[in-house]
Chains A and B, each alone.
Chain A
C-alpha cells in the first residue's frame, strides 16, 4: 500500500491550476414548449442504445489488492499499481472474472473461453496510468439478450446485448471552488462491467424498464451492489432520431447518468432537443453531452469535442484470460483454481422474471405486486407465509408486507428481509388470528408491534394480553340478544330508529351502535365488533320483520 502521507502530498494536490469544469453550455432547449414538441414527436422514431457501467462488488480491485469500498478517507485505498507507480503490473482478480461470467450467463451471452485486455489511452488526471485497461476487441461475453417487461408489465420486449467487457473504473476529480482540482484514487482500478446493448430501444420508458430489469438481475445474482448515489450503476445513452425505422440518425452520446428518473429525463429531453433541431432545419451534431443534474439539460462536453483517438493496443502485461467448462476443466491439474462456466451456470439463482412469473401464477398476484416482492428479495418470505397459512388471501399478505413489514424494516434500518424481527411463520400465525376474527385489525397491528419489541410469538402475545376477541357466532348472538333485550327494557327509543330497509341510514347506524356499545361494556371490550355488527343487524332485521 502507498502510505497515505505520500498520496496526500503528491496526489491531493492544489494543482491542476485553472482546470475548469469540463462542461460548457451550448444551447438549451426550452422544456416549456413541451406541448408543441409532442405534436411533432409522432413523425420521428427515436433509437436508444445503452452502455451500462456496473461496478463489480468484489472485495478488491480488478487488478490490484487494494480494497473496493465506498466512503473511505480519500486515497486510503490505493495500491502502488492503482497510483501507476512505475514498475507495477496488473494481476487479474478472479472474483471479478467470475462475476462478469455470471452476469454474462444471466444476460444469455456467449461466454468467451479466451478473452483479452487492451489499453485505451487518454490523458485525464483521475486516470493515473494515462490509459484504461479494458476489453476492446475480445470481451469476456458477447451476443446476449434480455427480455424485459414494460413499466406496467403488459408487454415483454427484447434487447440484444452486444457485449460485456471487464474494465477499470477511474478515480474521481473534485473541482473545488478556487479553481483547484483534488484527486481521489480510491475508485481508480475498481472493476467495472461495461454492458453494451444494441441500439434497439425506442423510448425513454422502455430504456428505463430495461435498465430496471437489468438492475434487478445484477442485484439478484450478486455481481453489483447497485448503489446509484455511489455511482455503482452508471449509464451512457446513445440517442438518435430518424424518420424511418430502417435508418438511424446521427447519434448523440450522453455520458454518466445515474438514477432511473434522471435517465428517463435525459432520454426524453435529448429526443425532444434533437427533434426541435431538425424541425427547425438544423442538423444534429455527433457529439458527447453530459447531463446537468441541476438544470435537467444536456450540455456539450468541451473536452470531447475533438474526436478522441484512443490509440488502442493490446495490454502486454496480462496473458489471455481463460475460462473453462465441464469438459475442459478436467484436463487441468488444479480445476478449483479456475472459473468453470458450467459451474457458474448451475450456481445462478432464479432470475427476477421467473420469480415474478411464479408469484403471478401460483398466488395470482398482479404484476406490480409480484415485482414489488421480487425487487426487494421478499418473495421467499411471502411464499413462506402463504405456505404456513393456505387460507390467507395473498393480496392481504402482500398488503401486510408492504405496509407493516417494510415500515418495520425502514424503522429498524434493516437491509434484508432475513433480518426482519417477525418471521414469516409468525406473520402467518398473526394473519391467521386476524383471518379467523380472533383479533381485529387494530389488535393485529398492536400484536405486530409487540412482536417486534418482545420477539414473542403472536399467539403468545394475544394470549398473555388477553386480546382474543369473542367472535364465535353463537356466543356473539347470545350477547347481542341480551343487549337488545336490555335496551328494549331500559331505553326502548334507542332501537326505534332502526329501519330494516335502510340499514345504512343514520338512525339505523345509531341503533346498531347502541347495541354494540352495550355488548362491549358487558364483555369488557372483548367483543369482535365486526362480527357483532353483522349479528346485531340480522337480529334487528328479524325483530322488525317478525
Chain B
C-alpha cells in the first residue's frame, strides 16, 4: 500500500483531484477494484459489479457530474436495477430488481459508481453481519490479512456491516446502509467510520426492502463527517414514491471547517449509564462531555425515563411489521420457490427454505403479537410505549418547556462495548445480541430523530470507540455540526491496514 493512500482520502479532496486531473476516474476505479480484491477475505461484498461495466460507464461520464465517478457501495437490501439484490437471504438469492431505489438512483444520477452490494444480516435482522447466506463479514481492525485465523477476528457489527467494512478499508468512499434499530451506527462504531441515521422521512425508502417500515431509514457511512454531509445533501428530500418522506424542501447542510459549539446545549441521558457499558466507553463519553463543556457548550444531564422499555417495545413492533412485510415472499412472483404440493404446502416449504431461523422466529412472534386476542396486549401497548419514548425525546429537545429540556443534541454511547470477537458473539442467539447491542440506538428510530455515530478513540485492544449524537427531527444541521466538532476534537486516525 502506498503511503498516501488515495482511497482513504476524504471524498471532497478526491473530487478536487479528479477535477484537476491529478487522477482519472478510471485509475480510481482500477485501484478500488484492487482494494476490493485485497480485502476479499473480509467478506464485505455479496456481489461486485463487473469491472468492465463500470469502466464503460465512467468513460461515458463527462466529469461534470457531482460525484465524477466516485466509487460507492450499497447494502444488499437496496434495490438495484439489473443487479441482484439478495438481502443476504436464500429467499432472494436469484432476485434481480427491475428498478433502483431512489437513493441509489440519486447517487448514480449524480455520477457515482456503484462498486457492489454489501453484506448484511438476512433481511437486516441482526447486529453482527454474521447471519448471511454468504457468511459473516469480518472487521478489518486487528485482522491478520496475511494469516487469517478462521475464528480469531472481530465482528463488523450489523446489520450494515458490509458497508462499514467497505468504507473502513477504502473499498468505497462512502456506502449506503439501512438503520432500523441501529444498523448503521453500530457497525460504523465497530469499524471506526462515521454512520448517519437521518431523520425518518428525510431520505426516501422507495426501493429499500422493508424491515420495519415505520423505523427504517437509509443511512450514510463514510470516513469523515464532511463526506457524510456531502452525500446527505445529495440524498435528502421529498420522493413522490415514498409518502412518508418530508413534504417541501429540505435545507442543505453546510458545516464550517472548525465549527463552534458555544451556542449548544448538550444533553447527557442519565439512563444510558447502564451497568453493562464498558468502562472504556464511559470514560470516552465523559471525555467528550468535557470537551463540549470546555469549548463553551452547556452540558446538562437529562432524563429519558422510558428508555428501559425501549427494547421490548422495539421487539414487539419490529416482529409485527416483519411478519407483515415478509408475507409477500410466497415464491409466486419472485424469490425462492419449492416444488410441488398444494398451494399452501408450497408456500410453507418455500418460506421454510427461504428464511433463516432468526427471520422465521420474528415472523412467528410477530404473527402472535398481531392475533386478534393479543393485539391489545402486545402490539397496541408497544405502540403506546413508543409514543412515550417519542415524547421523552421530544421533551428533551423542546426549547420552551422549562427544566430538563431545551437540549440541542444528546451525547451518548453507541453501544455497550467495542466490537466483540466472533467466537464469543457466535455463541449468543440473534435476539440476545440485538437486545445487548441495540439498546442505545433504538430510541432514535422509535422517535424518528437523526443520530450519528462518530469514532473518537481506540480502546486498549486497539479497537475503535465511537460516540453517538442525537438531535431533534430534521435538525441534521445541528447534529452534523456537533459531530464535526467531536471529530475535530478527537482526531481519530484511520489506520493503514496491512493488506
Contacts and interface: CB of A to CB of B under 8 A. Distances in A.
Contacts of A125: 330, 332, 343
Interface stretch (A13-21, A259-267, A418-426, A492-500): A13-21
B97 A317 contact: no
A89 interface: yes
Contacts of A312: 370, 372, 375
B101 interface: yes
Interface string A174-189: 0000000101000000
Contacts of B57: none
B332 A11 contact: yes
SS class, residues of chain A in contact with chain B: loop
Given A121-B324, A313-B370, A85 B243 contact: no
Nearest to A88: B206
Contact of A90 (B79, B243, B342, B346): B243
Given A86-B210, A123-B327, A313-B379, A319 B243 contact: yes
Q: SS class of chain B's interface: helix, strand, loop or mixed?
A: loop
Interface stretch (A37-45, A128-136, A147-155, A407-415): A128-136
Nearest to B368: A311
A15 B340 CA distance: 8
Given A16-B343, A87-B207, A89-B241, A10 B371 contact: no
Interface string B319-333: 011011011101011
Contacts of B176: none
A542 interface: no
A89 B209 contact: no
B209 A123 contact: no
Interface string B243-271: 11000000000000000000000000000
A339 to B, nearest CB: 15
A191 to B, nearest CB: 16
A80 interface: yes
A128 B328 contact: yes
Nearest to A124: B343
Nearest to B216: A316
A85 B327 contact: no
B74 interface: no
A483 interface: no
Contacts of A317: 213, 242-244
Q: Which of B98, B209, B320 has the most CB of A within 10 A?
A: B98
B80 to A, nearest CB: 10
Contacts of B206: 87-89
B378 to A, nearest CB: 11
B344 interface: yes
B243 A87 contact: no
A87 B240 contact: no
A11 B333 contact: yes
Contacts of A309: 371-372
A515 interface: no
A89 B205 contact: yes
A91 B241 contact: yes
Contact of A316 (B240, B321, B330, B343): B321
A546 to B, nearest CB: 95
Contacts of A296: none
B328 A84 contact: yes
Contacts of A316: 212-214, 244, 321
A2 B328 CA distance: 17
Contacts of B78: 87
B287 interface: no
A92 B240 CA distance: 10
Contacts of B210: 86-87
B327 A121 contact: yes
Name which of B78, B85, B344 has the most chain A CB atoms within 10 A of its CB.
B344
A266 B328 CA distance: 35
A181 B343 contact: yes
A380 to B, nearest CB: 40
Interface in B204-254: 205-210, 212-214, 240-244
B347 A119 contact: no
Given A3-B98, A312-B375, A316-B321, A87 B209 contact: yes
Interface in B279-332: 320-321, 323-324, 326-328, 330, 332
A313 B327 contact: no
A411 B203 CA distance: 58
A83 interface: yes
B490 interface: no
B98 A319 contact: no
A355 interface: no
B243 A92 contact: yes
B244 A91 contact: no
B332 A13 contact: yes
A6 B334 CA distance: 9
A248 interface: no
Given A119-B324, A123-B347, A181-B343, A86 B92 contact: yes
Contacts of A11: 332-333
B327 A130 contact: yes
Contacts of A429: none
Nearest to A123: B347
Contact of A17 (B85, B242, B243, B341): B341
B336 to A, nearest CB: 12
Interface string B132-148: 00000000000000000
Nearest to A18: B342
Interface in A38-96: 80, 83-92
A323 B402 CA distance: 36
Contacts of B499: none
A86 B367 contact: no
A318 interface: yes
Contact of B333 (A17, A85, A90, A131): A85
Nearest to B247: A319
Nearest to A63: B243
A217 to B, nearest CB: 31
A146 B214 CA distance: 39
Interface in A317-369: 317-319
B106 to A, nearest CB: 15
A319 B343 CA distance: 34
B158 to A, nearest CB: 19
Contacts of A83: 333
Nearest to A173: B343
Nearest to B328: A84
A77 to B, nearest CB: 15
Interface in B359-415: 367, 370-372, 375, 379
Contacts of B241: 89, 91
B179 to A, nearest CB: 16
A533 B474 CA distance: 94
Of B87, B242, B330, B337, most buried by chain A (CB within 10 Å of CB) is B330
Nearest to B331: A15
B240 A86 contact: no
A89 B97 CA distance: 15
Nearest to A307: B372
Contacts of A88: 206-207
The 6 A-B pairs of least Cβ separation, nearest first, read A130-B327, A311-B370, A316-B213, A316-B214, A84-B328, A87-B207
24 contacts: A6-B98, A10-B333, A16-B332, A16-B342, A16-B346, A17-B342, A18-B341, A19-B343, A85-B97, A86-B210, A87-B78, A87-B79, A87-B101, A87-B210, A89-B243, A89-B244, A91-B241, A123-B330, A125-B330, A128-B330, A130-B326, A312-B375, A313-B320, A316-B213
Given A15-B337, A89-B243, A91-B240, 7 more contacts: A17-B340, A17-B342, A130-B327, A310-B372, A311-B372, A313-B320, A318-B244
Interface of B: 78-79, 85, 87, 92, 95, 97-99, 101, 205-210, 212-214, 240-244, 320-321, 323-324, 326-328, 330, 332-334, 337, 340-344, 346-347, 367, 370-372, 375, 379
Interface of A: 2-3, 6-7, 10-11, 13, 15-19, 80, 83-92, 119, 121, 123, 125, 128-131, 181, 183, 309-313, 316-319
